[in-house]
Structure 1
Amino acid sequence: MASPVRGRAGGPGRRPLDRAKDQAITAAVVDVLARLGHSGFTMDEVALAAGVGKAAIYRRWSSKTDLLVSYTEGSIEGTLDLADTGSLRTDLVALLGSAAAHFNGPAGRANRALLSAVHDDPVLAAAYHAGPVAQWGDAFRQVFDRAVRRGEICPDAASSVAGEAGAAILVQRWLLHGAHIDEALVADVVDDVVLPLLRDRGHP
């Protein structure tokens, strides 16, 4: 699940914001985007789905854009599995498998709805690059850096397009086809695409 969207702090002389409401609003953002898409996303719908008054939302976010930017930046935070399993292959299966689980769920449908607006909205585009794109790139760097330290791949392989190629297949299935991404596909992408590309860059 996405991290709670970050609203404004309570501030001096103001009551602390209720974190339970933050969680409810985050879940509502996902629900509304997944059901109604970006074009149907309104503060009224979010308030209704969260079971809160609109005032509770506006105390945290000044506008719909502010709320969507906050959600977008944290939409995959905490969802990627970066466990050190001891080998590059199983690290990649864990990472891509966690991404697939996100794509397959309600948050994945919500993010697909957001992507329909990114190209026409520079503010949302900036949030998407600062959040999911940056976090995704950092996750692959961590996995590849560990593999370099273990001697599994060369340093220049870690900076190649291998990671992008593997992720691109999953994103294509998710974004263009709306297909469920199963464990078998994740394993095939790792074994038939990512690892061969890395090996083609040479061994240490």
Structure 2
Amino acid sequence: MTDGEDKRPQSSPARTRSGMRRLDPARDQAIAAAVLEVLARDGYAGLTMDAVATAAGVGKATIYRRWSSKSDLLLSVMDVMGERLAAPDTGTLRADMVGLLTATVQLLDGPAGRATRALMGAVQDDCSLAEAFQRGPLAHWDRAWATVLERAVARGEVTPAAGDTLAVEAGTAVVALRWLVTGRSLDDEIVRQLVDDVMLPLLVGGR
């Protein structure tokens, strides 16, 4: 080593699950968006490495060098498989819940929702995907609802015990049932009914 040469240890580049060097952030985002696009359009069966490469505008070798299978690819981008729901802060619990439930319905009705629907079967059959789904999209949604309830507690609208009720699950379960199973309508009136007739009574009924 010559005099004057920097002898400090160099940091190792971030690596994917397969051990290859990570892509730059912009390309990571392009590939994550491509996974969503292909899932929403073609379903899980149509999610191939070649299709993702085409949708992302990268060479197939770029994908194959970093992920050995589509399950490996899904695991690496699961944290962006659903858009993050922002918890509204309107000043009242009712308006916050209407806003958040409306945003949930809109999310499920869009590309991210169609991609999530396509994933449901795979998540049930693959423990690793199921765990990643719990840590990613489901955790994002849970945090948004928890934030809404925490603000309501701080305003004195509900007691701290409200977070232990089934109110949130009861409302979102109806949304999930209509979205995933029955195909019945999900609109502003359904959201209002769920908040006023199901969720709020469960949250404030014990006060």
Q: What SS class does the counterpart of residue 76 from structure 1 fall into?
A: coil
Counterpart contact for 2:75–2:132, Cα < 8 Å: yes
1:72-93 Cα distance to aligned partner (Å, 9 max, x none): 2332242x12131101011111
Q: What SS class does the counterpart of residue 129 from structure 1 fall into?
A: helix
Give percent identity, aligned residues only. 54
Give the total of aligned pairs.
192
Q: Aligned partner of 2:133: which letter?
A: Y
Counterpart contact for 1:47–1:54, Cα < 8 Å: yes
C-alpha RMSD of matched pairs (Å): 2.3
Aligned counterparts of 1:68 and 1:19: Cα–Cα separation in 2: 17
Q: What SS class does the counterpart of residue 119 from structure 1 fall into?
A: helix
Q: What SS class does the counterpart of residue 91 from structure 2 fall into?
A: coil
Q: Aligned partner of 2:37: which letter?
A: D
C-alpha displacement at 1:178, in angstroms? 4.2
1:45-65 Cα distance to aligned partner (Å, 9 max, x none): 111222211222245544311
Q: Aligned partner of 1:95: which letter?
A: L
C-alpha displacement at 1:180, in angstroms? 5.3
Q: What residue is the counterpart of 2:189 in the other structure?
A: 184
Alignment of 1:19-98 (within 5 A): 19-78=25-84, 80-98=85-103
- Distance change (3 Å), C-alpha of 1:22 and 1:16: closer
Q: Aligned partner of 2:33: which letter?
A: A
Aligned counterparts of 1:10 and 1:69: Cα–Cα separation in 2: 14
Counterpart pick for 2:123 among 91, 104, 118: 118
Counterpart contact for 1:81–1:94, Cα < 8 Å: no
Q: What residue is the counterpart of 2:152 in the other structure?
A: 147
Q: What residue is the counterpart of 2:163 in the other structure?
A: 158
- Distance change (3 Å), C-alpha of 1:17 and 1:119: closer
C-alpha displacement at 1:195, in angstroms? 0.5
C-alpha displacement at 1:177, in angstroms? 3.2
Structure 1 residue runs of 5 or longer lacking an equivalent are 1-7
TM-score calculated relative to the size of structure 1 = 0.84
Q: Aligned partner of 1:69: which letter?
A: L
- Distance change (3 Å), C-alpha of 1:10 and 1:119: closer
- Distance change (3 Å), C-alpha of 1:52 and 1:137: same
- Distance change (3 Å), C-alpha of 1:188 and 1:29: same
Aligned counterparts of 1:180 and 1:107: Cα–Cα separation in 2: 18
Counterpart contact for 1:104–1:181, Cα < 8 Å: no
Q: What SS class does the counterpart of residue 52 from structure 1 fall into?
A: coil
Structure 2 residue runs of 5 or longer lacking an equivalent are 1-12
Aligned counterparts of 1:121 and 1:180: Cα–Cα separation in 2: 30
Give the 4+ runs in structure 1 shifted more than 6 A: none
Aligned counterparts of 2:47 and 2:83: Cα–Cα separation in 1: 22
Q: Aligned partner of 1:173: which letter?
A: R
1:75-114 Cα distance to aligned partner (Å, 9 max, x none): 2242x12131101011111211111111010110000010
Aligned counterparts of 2:192 and 2:81: Cα–Cα separation in 1: 25
- Distance change (3 Å), C-alpha of 1:76 and 1:31: closer
